């Protein structure tokens, strides 16, 4: 059974550009969440989607957005990149529905903003 797949794994962008990251959840999973990991702030929740609807959102500026498609695949977008957006972006999937499901993570996308 394939795990959570994230693309691209590594990318370098210039300040002011935008970036789109992609996540394919485990087959059958309907919930996809995104997290940002930085040395200074640790692991922080960005948002979660379930059945194409944003169900929960973290405390990030509007430059961070996401969406989920009918096949549960998800994308997140960061516009007008800042140097502080350099981070490991992790996608997680779970079956969704009720709380307390096991949540599985992908290998992440390493974003460097220069």
Residue with tokens 């981070």: 87
Closest contact distance (angstroms) between CB of 6 and other proteins is 9
Which one of 12-20, 38-46, 64-72, 74-82 is the stretch in contact with other proteins (CB under 8 A)?
38-46
| Angle at 12 (CA atoms; ends 10, 13), nearest 5 degrees | 140
In the sheet with 74-78, reading across from the earlier edge strand, the strands are 5-7, 19-24, 74-78, 64-68
Q: Which residue's CB is nearer to other proteins, number 1 or number 98?
A: 98
Backbone CA torsion sign across 98, 95, 48, 110: positive
Length of the chain: 114
Q: Are 24 and 5 in contact (CB under 8 A)?
A: yes
CA gap 24, 8 in Å, rounded:
12
Closest contact distance (angstroms) between CB of 69 and other proteins is 18
Give the per-residue contact string, 63-92, with other proteins (x = CB under 8 A; - = no): -------------------------x-x-x
Tell me: does residue 12 bind other proteins (CB under 8 A). no
- Which of 33, 36, 68, 72 contacts other proteins by CB under 8 A? 33
**Contacting positions for other proteins (CB under 8 A):** 31, 33, 35, 42-43, 45, 48, 50, 55-56, 58, 88, 90, 92, 94, 96-108, 110
């Amino acid at each position: 059974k394939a795990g959570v797949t994230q693309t691209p794994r590594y990318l370098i962008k210039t300040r002011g550009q935008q970036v789109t990251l992609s996540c394919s959840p485990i087959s059958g999973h309907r919930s996809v969440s995104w997290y940002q990991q930085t040395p200074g702030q640790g692991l922080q929740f960005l948002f979660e989607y379930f059945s194409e609807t944003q169900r929960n959102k973290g405390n990030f500026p509007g430059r961070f957005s996401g969406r989920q498609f009918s096949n549960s695949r998800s994308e997140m977008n960061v516009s007008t990149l800042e140097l502080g957006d350099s981070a490991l972006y992790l996608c997680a999937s779970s079956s969704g529905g009720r709380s307390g499901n096991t949540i599985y993570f992908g290998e992440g996308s390493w974003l460097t903003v220069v």
